[in-house]
Amino acid sequence: MKIKEIISAISDIFYPRLCIRCGKALNSGERYLCTSCIANIPRTNFHKNSHNLTEDTFSGNAHADRAFSWFYFTRNSSYNNLIYDLKYKGNADLARYLGKLYAAELFSDGITMDFDIIIPVPLHKKRLKSRGYNQSQMIAEGIKDITGGEIFTDILFRSENTESQTRKQRFERWENIKDAFSANFFKEYANKKIVLIDDVTTTGATIAACIKTLRACGYNNISVLTLAYADNR
C-alpha cells in the first residue's frame, strides 16, 4: 500500500465518503456512487435503439447525426442529485467522473466513439465566472479520457448572456436562446466528426441553437451526448 492510500484509508474511517445517492459509506474502490447505485442508474439505453427521444429532440437544420443521453432525469428521482451536485454544488470532478463512466459504457456496448472534435456547450462568461467551471467541459473531459479526440473551445461561443432558462416555456426558450451562440469556421474541420456535450437535454433549445449555429457556419457532422434526458411527461 502506498502512503497516499494508507492516509486515504485512515481518513475514510474518520470521515467516511458517502454515496451521493443513497448515503451509504463508500468502500475504497468506489467514488461518488456505490456499486449498487451505479447498477441501478435509470438508464435510457437510447444507444441500443435505432431512434430515441434525444435524437427526436433535434430536427431540420438542427438535426443531430447521432444523439444519446445516459439516464432519465425525472421528477423526484434521487439520481437528479448527480446533476445538482455537478452543476450547482461545485463538484467539477463528479462531472468528469460521470462523463468517463458514460463513455466507457457506450464503448463497451459497441458504440463507435470516433469523434474528432469535442465541443462542450459554452457557458456565458459571467456564469462561468460565478460557477468557476463549465460543467459541460468537465463532462467532456471525462468523455475524452475514453474516446480520445480533442476538446475545442474556440469554435463555438456564447454571445449573449441569456436570462435563466428554467422559468420559460418551450417557445419562449427558443426565442430567448436562438441567437445566443456564434461560431468560428475552420475549413479543415468542415467534415470532421463533432460531438456536442451537455449535462441535460430538457427542451433541447440550447443544444438545437448550438447545432444550428455550427451547421449554418459550415460544419456537417454533428452529434450530441448528454448525461441526462429530462422526461417530464
β pairing state of 221-230 and 67-73: parallel
Exactly one of 21, 173, 193, 212 binds Zn ion (CB under 5 A); which one? 21
Q: How many CB atoms lie within 10 A of CB 218?
A: 13
**Nine-digit cell string for 81:** 442529485
CB of 33 to Zn ion, least distance (A): 6
Query: Please, what is the minimum distance in Å from the beta carbon of residue 142 to Zn ion?
Result: 20
- Work out how close the CB of 5 gets to Zn ion at its nearest, in angstroms, rounded to a whole number: 22
Burial of 65-100, coded b for 16+ CB within 10 Å and e otherwise, reads: ebbbbbbbbeeebebbebbebbbeeebbebbbbbbb
Spatial separation of the C-alpha atoms in residues 5 and 155, rounded to whole Å: 41
26 binds Zn ion (CB under 5 A): no
**Residue 19 contacts by C-beta under 8 Å, 6 or more apart in sequence?**
25, 26, 30, 32, 33, 34, 37
Query: Which of 19, 83, 123, 183 touches Zn ion by CB under 5 A?
Result: 19
Q: Given the rule CB under 5 A, which of 16-24, 53-61, 109-117, 190-198 is the region that contacts Zn ion?
A: 16-24
Q: How far is the CB of 40 from Zn ion (least distance, A)?
A: 8
Choices 21-29, 132-140, 151-159, 172-180 (CB under 5 A): range interacting with Zn ion: 21-29
Among 26, 34, 207, 222, binds Zn ion (CB under 5 A): 34
Site for Zn ion in 148-207 (CB under 5 A): none
**Residue 7 near Zn ion by CB under 5 A:** no
Query: Judged by CB under 5 A, does residue 22 bind Zn ion?
Result: yes
How would you write 5-16 as a 3-class SS string? Answer: HHHHHHHHHHCC
Footprint of Zn ion (CB under 5 A):
19, 21-22, 34, 37
